[in-house]
Structure 1
Amino acid sequence: MATVLLTPSNKPLLQSNEEHILTLLDRCSTMKELKQIHGLVWKKGSVALLTHHIAVSKLLSLWASAKFGNLEYARMVFDRIRTPNTLMWDTMIRAYSNGNDPEAALLLYHQMLHHSVPHSSYTFPFLLKACSCLSASEEAQQIHAQIIKRGFGSEIYATNSLIRAYAILGNTKSAHDLFDRLPQRDIVSWNTMIDGYIKCGNVDMAYEMFKAMPVKSVISWTTMIVGFVRVGMNTEALSHFQQMLIAGIKPDSIAISCSLSACAGLGALEQGRWVHAYIHKNRIKIDSVLGCVLIDMYVKCGEMPKALEVFSELEQKSVYEWTAIIGGFAIHGKGREALDWFMEMQKTGTKPTMITFTAVLTACSHAGLIEEGKLIFESMGTVYEINPSVEHYGCMVDLLGRAGLLKEAKELIEAMPVKPNAAVWGALLNACVMHKNLDLGKQIGKILIKLDPDHGGRYIHLASIHAAAGEWNQAAQVRRQIKHIGLLNPPGCSTITLNGVVHEFLAEAGSLQHIEEVYDIWNQIISRPIEKRYGPVTEDLLLNL
């Protein structure tokens, strides 16, 4: 039976020359058409088409692409080609590297070496991507050797890919050595190094690289903003965003989203509103990610009505926007409202995620909705087929603990299918302190120190419990452990926004501008007579040993 591909005018196309095959492949839009073209190649190909490298490579690329997604079929076609050329090998390696089986890319490359196939500059980047996905440092070094051996050591595309692979694998020293030896660095080389240092947590070195760049792109600025936000340097992120605008660089959606996250972290409502106004002024489409970040910013800055306004203006509402709103009500202690919105979300047919359940259970915990929380926790498995995670168990322990159901909370921890972490035990410890169950609190405190020995707060909690029980010697002994181990207690920090400038206050830091005026005002406040009902609660204060 003849294989026929119909054109829009329904006229059969049965021409066997290579140019028409390529034209058909370029116009192909459905799986059915691709199969018809493949059949045409097979039928009319005799030897000519089946050995036509460009046409067959294009056919392989389409089969292996995300659009058609039949990598197994592409491999079957590839295996039947008598002498596949470099382009065909590169096509298959790229497909495996971009897919769910990056290891197959390395195995295929081993066959490529066995057959002594010539390499191209496009052979290595996807092999290195596969190494990055597999955390295969040794294989990356072997491919580095192949790059040098085959004369691609000065080829910028292959070298940039090698720098990126080393950086992703955590070997920033090798990446920087390669960068320093580059005879000519392009903007990709610089951005790759900056991104590599940020992924390894070395934001200071990333910033030094950024400042040394001769030309900075929007990606360079965005990468630094992302890096600052990732390590909690929100003030620096906002400052960098402002410098980006002053430099005349139009920010992309990632830079805007991260800047809004920085505003949320600082509680900088004024700057958050300005960024929101910038979005409207420049007619930037508010997608799912930007919508979530905007809602989160307003929620954390205490502007719940504005968060609801952003939510209502979204054309399409995914589970992420619903979760952000539910989480907002949870943060503000409005458990009933959070449950109402959870029900509304379900009515729209939106399926909750694990994060959604964390938000709902947190809302129940803060509002003391015990029975509702238990029902929702149980529904995760029975209704939604979601196995509760450690975070969900932590929410339930917090819910039960706040209600004084300490025994039930402890039993829940002991029945967990996974090992409870320090956060779960910490929730129970807080409940013990709240409800003055000092004996159980001491047991939990010792468990926490064993689980998290490098966390100074664990020792302070246990010392507080001993002090509350009048066991001063034990409290002093625990506090001495902190000094003996050399743990640091990070100073308290708060921020305010005044006239568009974020001011940060660190405990015991006296270098702040106008600090004397701040102290004067504070002394005036504490010197005023305080009514008895507004007096400070001192019974739970940590003994200062």
Structure 2
Amino acid sequence: MYAKSGWVRIARILFNCLRTKRVVSWNAMISGYAMHGHGDEALALFSMMRKEALVLPDHITFVGVLSACSHAGLLKEGKKFFDLMTKEFFIEPTVQHYTCMIDLLSHAGRFEEARSLIEEMPFKPDTGVWGALLNGCKIHGEVELGEEALRKLIELEPSDAGNYVLLSNIYCGAGKWEEAAKIRKLMTERGLKKRIACSWIEVKNKAHAFLVGDLSHPQCEEIYGELERLEGLMQQAGYVSDTMPVFHNVGEDEKRNMVRSHSERLAIAFGLISTPPGTRLMVTKNIRVCEDCHAAIKIISQIMDREIIIRDVNRYHHFMDGQCSCRDYW
């Protein structure tokens, strides 16, 4: 519970207080570290489990370990533990283990290895496997393989608009605007709608939700005033807006305005004006945080001397003193 609420340090304190640590306790703590991107801590805990515990790791333990490797970009370690699972502990990999490995390989741009691993799987790849491959294709602009992954995903879940959007973004990133337009047209024909980005922040036991460019909040003027103030301070600190995440064929000025009002920035601005200095802010977002917002929040954490946590659809990001726990790998 504490790990999923952003308090991974407290989770570890409670874990250390356990007199008897069952396998479920080790799994919860390893998985907690994994979702926060603390790969080294997760692997150190797994090593401790092997040396000190009276319980053996199970298949869930290795899901946590491989997930930790994936979130932290620990390619060499991920391969080692995938082999260790079968050779030393005789645990047959499930689709979850394969998904972690495909995500790890794809994220690292090792597409040939990822493709080979998919072909070697003893069962049919599911949406998680193809989704991990498609996400890696988006990161590295791998168009052809992304198209193949989308075809497989459409066969398995034809009504998921997120897959179409991801391929459209790959096309836009490659400057293939016509292909991107065809994907969006296909979405319209099939009655599919893109998920609207939304962020939430809790202040004084009340949740406040924001959409991109939201003007509906009662403190809207104050929020946008704070954003403008932050923009000036960020520029003084060397921030330059990155408009690459805006996959629309529009001018640079319009792109900059679009990223400035992303939902997580509105939530953070509201949190800053609504809490005392030094208060930790935690924001939840229903999709992946974009590259520009990630860079901006690092600077905001520094100039405002705040700890800011973003829980996006993939993982937790802990921003503090101008750095992020993910080390810019997500």
Q: Distance in 2 between matches of 1:531 and 1:413?
A: 48
Q: Indicate the residue corresponding to 1:310 in structure 2.
A: 14
* Higher normalized contact order (CA 8 Å, seq sep 6+, divided by chain length): 2
* Offset of residue 379 of structure 1: 2.4
Aligned residue for 2:125, secondary structure, equals: coil
Q: Indicate the residue corresponding to 1:474 in structure 2.
A: 179
Q: 1:337 aligns with which of 17, 24, 41?
A: 41
Aligned AA (1:333)? G
Q: Indicate the residue corresponding to 2:115 in structure 1.
A: 410
Q: Distance in 2 between matches of 1:419 and 1:534?
A: 46
Q: Distance in 1 between matches of 2:162 and 2:237?
A: 31
Unaligned runs of 5+ in 2: 251-330
Q: 1:323 aligns with which of 11, 15, 27?
A: 27
Cα deviation, 1:339-390, whole Å, max 9, x if unaligned, reads 1111211221212222211110011122222222112112222222322111
Aligned AA (1:306)? I
* Offset of residue 478 of structure 1: 0.5
* Offset of residue 507 of structure 1: 4.1
Q: Distance in 2 between matches of 1:484 and 1:341?
A: 50
1:360 paired with 2:86, answer no
- In the TM superposition, 1:409-488 aligns within 5 A as 409-488=114-193
Question: For residues 514 and 532 of structure 1, do their structure 2 counterparts lie closer, same or farther at Cα, with a shift above 3 Å needed?
Answer: closer
Q: Indicate the residue corresponding to 1:377 in structure 2.
A: 82
Question: For residues 330 and 529 of structure 1, do their structure 2 counterparts lie closer, same or farther at Cα, with a shift above 3 Å needed?
Answer: closer
* Offset of residue 415 of structure 1: 1.3
Contact 1:464–1:543 under 8 Å retained in 2: no
- In the TM superposition, 1:153-302 aligns within 5 A as 297-302=1-6
Contact 1:442–1:466 under 8 Å retained in 2: no
Once the two structures are aligned, what percentage of the paired residues are identical?
Answer: 41
Contact 2:165–2:194 under 8 Å retained in 1: no
Q: Indicate the residue corresponding to 2:103 in structure 1.
A: 398
Aligned AA (1:401)? S
Report the structure number with the largest CA radius of gyration.
1
1:499 paired with 2:207, answer no
Q: 1:537 aligns with which of 222, 226, 242?
A: 242
Question: For residues 531 and 413 of structure 1, do their structure 2 counterparts lie closer, same or farther at Cα, with a shift above 3 Å needed?
Answer: farther
Question: For residues 480 and 373 of structure 1, do their structure 2 counterparts lie closer, same or farther at Cα, with a shift above 3 Å needed?
Answer: same
- Compute the RMSD of aligned alpha carbons: 2.3
Number of aligned residue pairs: give it: 249
* Offset of residue 413 of structure 1: 0.7
Q: Indicate the residue corresponding to 2:256 in structure 1.
A: none
* Offset of residue 418 of structure 1: 1.0
Q: Distance in 2 between matches of 1:370 and 1:358?
A: 15
Cα deviation, 1:249-298, whole Å, max 9, x if unaligned, reads xxxxxxxxxxxxxxxxxxxxxxxxxxxxxxxxxxxxxxxxxxxxxxxx32
Cα deviation, 1:281-328, whole Å, max 9, x if unaligned, reads xxxxxxxxxxxxxxxx32233322211111122232111111111112
Q: Indicate the residue corresponding to 1:269 in structure 2.
A: none
Aligned residue for 2:235, secondary structure, equals: coil
Contact 1:452–1:458 under 8 Å retained in 2: no
Aligned AA (1:363)? A
Contact 1:442–1:465 under 8 Å retained in 2: no
Contact 2:161–2:195 under 8 Å retained in 1: no
Contact 2:8–2:32 under 8 Å retained in 1: yes
Q: Indicate the residue corresponding to 1:264 in structure 2.
A: none
More helix by share: 1
User: Which range is displaced more, 500-509 or 438-447?
Assistant: 500-509
* Offset of residue 510 of structure 1: 4.4
Unaligned runs of 5+ in 1: 1-296
Aligned residue for 1:534, secondary structure, equals: coil
Q: Indicate the residue corresponding to 1:101 in structure 2.
A: none
* Offset of residue 419 of structure 1: 0.8
Question: For residues 300 and 531 of structure 1, do their structure 2 counterparts lie closer, same or farther at Cα, with a shift above 3 Å needed?
Answer: farther
